[in-house]
Amino acid sequence: MRFDRSWYGCIVGFVFAVIVLCAQPVLAEPTDHIDNGERCAVCGMFVAKYPNWVTQLQYSDGAVKFFDGVKDMMVHYFDPASFGMHGHPDVKEVWVKDYYTLKWIDGRDAYFVVGSDVNGPMGHEFIPFESKEAAESFKKDHQGKEILRFGDISTEKVESMRMGHKMKKHKMDHMTK
């Protein structure tokens, strides 16, 4: 039996494509159903009341935490131990909703406008967008100050946006009992 070299190229190409596709991280789906009793893991607000602003962190151990906006999600992301999680658990997925389309998007790939005239449920907010163009348009239309990527968000930036909207820890503890 004679081996045709053209088939060899096809087989190598196919195997390479399978390897590349399998090496890409596969995102699970965000949790779309949120019970009415689900509270923000940081401030205690009922997140189902604010479906356009809901965000979620999915951890590698299967835990899912919901938040009433990107700002509170980032508070938890930077300091999960302050909210009852031991150590610094591995965040598997970060889900936010594009402000214009309300479609779930990977928060690590999003563009966030800060300093705009649009407030979230807890005041100043990081407004997420799937594309840079949408973020730039929103920034222009709503007097935004800057566009950040996920990796650009710092604890200092989050804290500066939380001024006046912090809940005392003992109030939070009382709300969850």
- The predicted pLDDT at position 30 comes to 85
Number of domains in the chain: 1
What gap in Å lies between CA 92 and CA 17, rounded to an integer? 25
In three-state form (DSSP H/G/I as H, E/B as E, the rest C), the secondary structure along 78-111 is: HCHHHHCCCCCCCEEEEEEECCCCCCEEEHHHCE
The pTM of the full predicted model, rounded to 2 decimals, is 0.77
Instruction: Give the pLDDT confidence score for residue 7 in this predicted structure.
Output: 55
In a domain, 3, yes or no: no
Domain with 155, as residue range(s), is 30-175
Domain assignment of residue 118, yes or no = yes
What is the mean pLDDT of each successive set of 10 residues along the chain, which is 177 residues long? 54 48 55 89 95 95 93 94 81 97 98 96 96 98 97 95 57 40
How many Cα atoms sit within 13 Å of 140 on the Cβ side? 6
Three-point CA angle 7, 10, 15, nearest 5° = 125
What does the block give as tokens for 102? 């309300």
- What is the model's pLDDT at position 17? 44
Instruction: With respect to residue 20, please indicate whether it lies within any of the assigned structural domains.
Output: no
Is residue 86 a part of any domain in this protein? yes
